Structure 1
Amino acid sequence: MGHLLYKNSLSYKGYLIIPFVFGKADTYEIYSYKLLSEIGRKSRFHKAENPAQMYGSSISNVLDIAKEHIDKNLEFVSQGDSFKYRYVYRNNLIIVYRESGKYFYDHYPPDSLNNIAAPRVFTSEYECLKWIKQGLDGLNVKQKAR
């Protein structure tokens, strides 16, 4: 599996659909997807890879497949868009959440849905994003020095 295509992700009914290139047939790319759920591990589809067990010939095709699967297997009714404040920086997915005037985040690397966020609370979305960017920029400098 290659990089998750976070820039092409789609928030849909409490899930974040994240496409990726599953493989190639001749010169054609075959797409699959992974899901994140706003209710986390309470969802059987949280971090699931292609629960519809169908592949697409394009990003839009695989997003449609995922949406259809979610519609047929809806587990909960979403109360909003938990994935509204998501950002991609250096191919990392950053999702910022606000709760009771405090901000925190989830951070997923380019190739997996393992949340590597530090347990930290911020007073603003800007402060949160600035801290993450500094950390990723610092990591990038260290890797280039090797």
Structure 2
Amino acid sequence: MSRLLYERSVSYKGYLIIPFVFGKVDNYDIYSYRLLSEIGHRSQFHKTENPAGIYGGGVSNIVDIAKEHIDQNSEFVHRGDSFKSRYIYQNNLIIIFQEGDKYFYDHYPPELLNNIAAPKLFTSEYECLSWIKQGFDRRYVRPRAI
């Protein structure tokens, strides 16, 4: 599987549709998708790959396929856009959540949907994003030659 195209993800009815290049046929990309659900593991489609079993020839095509599958098989009543505060940094997906006056995040690396976020609470979305960015920047700093 190629990296997940978080920058082309679409939030739809409580799911985040995340396309990726599944393979190539005659130098044409064939697309598939993965899903995240706002209700997490209570959804049979959370972190699933292409539950519709249909592939597409472009990102918009695969997103339409995913939407149709969600329309026909949604398991819950959508309560708002849980994925509206999502960011991509160094090809990683960061989703910020708010509960009351506290903020926390989910962090997914480029190739798989495993949440690797630290269990930490923040007082603002900005504080949360700054902390995440500092962590990434520290990790990718190369030592200077002497």
Mark yes or no: TM-score above 0.5.
yes
Q: Report how far residue 140 of structure 1 moved.
A: 1.6
Q: Deviations over 1:69-128 (max 9, x none)?
A: 000001001110000000000000000001011000000000000000000000000000
TM-score, normalised via structure 2 length? 0.96
Which residue is 2:74 aligned to? 74
Q: Deviations over 1:18-49 (max 9, x none)?
A: 00000001110000000000000000000000
Query: What runs of 5+ residues in structure 1 fail to find an aligned partner?
Result: none
Which residue is 1:115 aligned to? 115
Amino acid at match of 2:141: V
Q: Residues of 1 paired with 2:98 and 2:79: CA distance?
A: 14
User: After the TM superposition, which parts of structure 1 deviate over 6 Å for at least 4 consecutive aligned residues?
Assistant: none
Give the secondary-structure state (helix, strand or coil) at the position aligned to 2:46. Answer: coil
CA RMSD of aligned residues (A): 1.3
How many residues were matched structurally? 144
Which residue is 1:83 aligned to? 83
Give the fraction of aligned pairs with identical amino acids, expressed as a percent.
Answer: 70
TM-score, normalised via structure 1 length? 0.96
Q: Report how far residue 141 of structure 1 moved.
A: 2.0
Which residue is 2:135 aligned to? 135
Give the secondary-structure state (helix, strand or coil) at the position aligned to 1:64. Answer: helix
Q: Residues of 1 paired with 2:124 and 2:25: CA distance?
A: 46
Q: Residues of 2 paired with 1:129 and 1:18: CA distance?
A: 21
Q: Report how far residue 139 of structure 1 moved.
A: 1.5
Give the secondary-structure state (helix, strand or coil) at the position aligned to 2:120. Answer: coil
Q: Does 1:48 align with 2:48?
A: yes
Amino acid at match of 2:129: L
Q: Residues of 2 paired with 1:133 and 1:5: CA distance?
A: 20
Amino acid at match of 1:104: F
